[in-house]
Structure 1
Amino acid sequence: MELANGTTVQEFILLGFGVEQQKRFILLTFFSVLYMLTLVENITIITLVLVDTRLAQLPMYILLSNFSWLEMCYVTTTVPRMLYDLAFPHGVISFQACFFQFYIFFSLGCTECFFLSAMALDRYLAICHPLQYPKIMSKETCYTLISATWTIGFLGYIVPVTLISRLSFCGPNIIDHFVCDPGPILSLACPPLDNIPLVWQFSMNVLVILGNFLFVLLSYGVVIFTLMKSSNKGSRGKAFSTISFHLLVVILFYGPVVGMYVAQVGGSHSQVSKTVTVFYTAITPFLNPLIYCLRNNQVKEALWRLLRRKERWLRRKVTV
């Protein structure tokens, strides 16, 4: 990896949002608050599932607590670095750190694709095969599914990231983004890569993203069809409410991701790319807990139980 003058590339420069100081301060404040709220929301969900014995026995909430942990890791991969560059706009990142962020970011994104499929499978089994559900989706099966999801997600991008990191980079070393995204990185490689990015895009992005997206749509399609045939209006309405929240999370995640990495919407327009990336790296992780759990009656009941338990503990402490 050498520049035209023969020097070795040891760092990249992230241009970030390219805005003046006043707007940088506004963005810094906004994303700092958003990041803290995202962490609080997801920590709350994880805590509820861990301490509430009712939720801890249900595969749906075991999956959701692990999904919350995934969301915390996902947002922490990009947002703190983005906040740092907004506060200190020099944008320098080492070659190794850039590719490490690239690998972790895309591995977590890949893991999220499989997690959404796992949660869709859980809802399919619970609604379409209710009698067999407790036996099929036991806690052991649930944890095995979670382990497989994390493993596949982090193994999938080892080879692509390793191959890309071994490419030659002639310069410039400026990445017109706030994260180490493969598109801007590949554009810096030399000689031009021709069809290599297309092969990588098809093998990883299309297969992983579209494959999981179609699986989720098929699962929920069968679930909706089953619910439509149900004669129990009460349970059908409750199930539809749960499924609608799940589908909203799927749309919020896959909408921008498919646009960015499959359809390549705004692929050559850096501002469009940055806006879409901000949405699925910062805003979606903030919205997911509100949609997925905090509007769920069982979660709200568990939260009230935890608050009442805390209140009783404080009263006993004051009395003593």
Structure 2
Amino acid sequence: MDNKTSVKEFIILGFSGVQEYQNLLFVIFLMMYLITLTVNISLITIIRYGQQLHKPMYYFLGNLSFLELGYISVTVPKIMVDIPRKIKSISFPGCFTQLFFFTFFGATETILLAVMSFDRFLAVCYPLHYTSIMSQKVCFILAAASWVLGFLTTSFPIIKISELHFCSANIINHFFCESAPLLQLSCSDTYFKELNVIVCASSVILSSILLTMTSYIYILKTILRIPSATGKQKAASTCASHLIVVTTFYSTMFAMYIKPTASEGSLNKIMVLSLLYTVVTPMLNPIIYSLRNKEMKESLTKIMLRLKAKT
């Protein structure tokens, strides 16, 4: 960090504007966090021990649940600790550590969702060759590539933001450290740093959206060529959950990161969007996948019967 930076810590406003609801907010965040931990850990466990779930789609889904656990754990515990505190502070290194891991998990999830759409494309459009193409080794490589690319695309813009000078202003109008309010606080010329964020975010988000859209265009064409209504419904059902998840996630990510800086008037909108993909999405994703998945329900039933038999 440059010695021109005099800020040693940041003050996070969070939900200071609604002091009378602090206890209620704490309970809400605690419940959502516990639900998210429970459903994601349960999903990972079911995939791990459900023999019929040892397939590429569930392998990627297990990675997604692991990402959701990291995603929400980077922000929500700190939010809950800060809610009862009058001064909600975070150290300079702590702020950028939180920013890095939050952005890293988000970028990795963006890429992984695109990989999952490619997996659905192969399953629907090339069912006879699917098992030979999506081998265990290929699944591992694709999942590992998502994590590596997420790390690489995150590191450069976060390093550039950390090089900015923060002279005196240190109040973050947000509930955690995000790139938009940090860029706004800097006393440096943020144009090129902002450009770095836009380029990296755009390259990840737009390329992922392009791959997802291309995959689903071919999936739709294939489904329309299926003669029977039952066949069409079965093919469409394999993609429905994933399509719901990617639509929600990509739309909020696109709105957040294609334009990382913000005016005071739009920061409230950014906070709402952040709350949606930071807390709500990690809680709903495994529920969406589980409720619409017959194999998942059958595996859960078998695991429960197995545990019951042991007791």
Using the size of structure 1 for normalisation, the TM-score is: 0.92
Q: Deviations over 1:20-53 (max 9, x none)?
A: 4331111111111011001110111100111111
User: Which of the numbers 197, 218, 222 marks the counterpart of 2:218?
Assistant: 222
Query: Which residue in 2 is equivalent to 1:317?
Result: none
Q: CA RMSD in A?
A: 1.9
Match status 1:166 vs 2:163: yes
Query: Which residue in 2 is equivalent to 1:145?
Result: 142
Residues 88-97 or 297-306, more deviating: 88-97
Aligned counterparts of 1:235 and 1:150: Cα–Cα separation in 2? 35
Following superposition, which runs of at least 4 residues in structure 1 exceed 6 angstroms of deviation? none
Query: Which residue in 2 is equivalent to 1:177?
Result: 174
> Do the aligned residues in 1 keep the contact of 2:5 with 2:166 (CA within 8 Å)?
no
Query: Which residue in 1 is equivalent to 2:64?
Result: 67
> Do the aligned residues in 1 keep the contact of 2:114 with 2:208 (CA within 8 Å)?
yes
* Within-5 A mapping of 1:1-320: 8-56=6-54, 58-193=55-190, 195-262=191-258, 268=264, 269-314=266-311
Percent identical pairs in the alignment equals: 37
SS of match in other structure, 1:13 = strand
Q: Deviations over 1:238-269 (max 9, x none)?
A: 22123222111011111211112225697542
Residues 7-16 or 117-126, more deviating: 7-16
Aligned counterparts of 1:265 and 1:298: Cα–Cα separation in 2? 44
Amino acid at match of 2:182: I
Q: Deviations over 1:43-97 (max 9, x none)?
A: 11100111111112x1111111111111111111111111111132421100000
Residues 257-266 or 13-22, more deviating: 257-266
> Do the aligned residues in 2 keep the contact of 1:2 with 1:170 (CA within 8 Å)?
no
> Do the aligned residues in 1 keep the contact of 2:180 with 2:261 (CA within 8 Å)?
no
Corresponding residue pairs, total:
310
Q: Which consecutive residues of structure 2, in runs of 5 or more, have no partner in the other structure? A: none
> Do the aligned residues in 1 keep the contact of 2:36 with 2:69 (CA within 8 Å)?
yes
Q: Which consecutive residues of structure 1, in runs of 5 or more, have no partner in the other structure? A: 315-320
Aligned counterparts of 1:222 and 1:49: Cα–Cα separation in 2? 28
Amino acid at match of 2:39: E
> Do the aligned residues in 1 keep the contact of 2:160 with 2:193 (CA within 8 Å)?
no
> Do the aligned residues in 2 keep the contact of 1:2 with 1:9 (CA within 8 Å)?
no
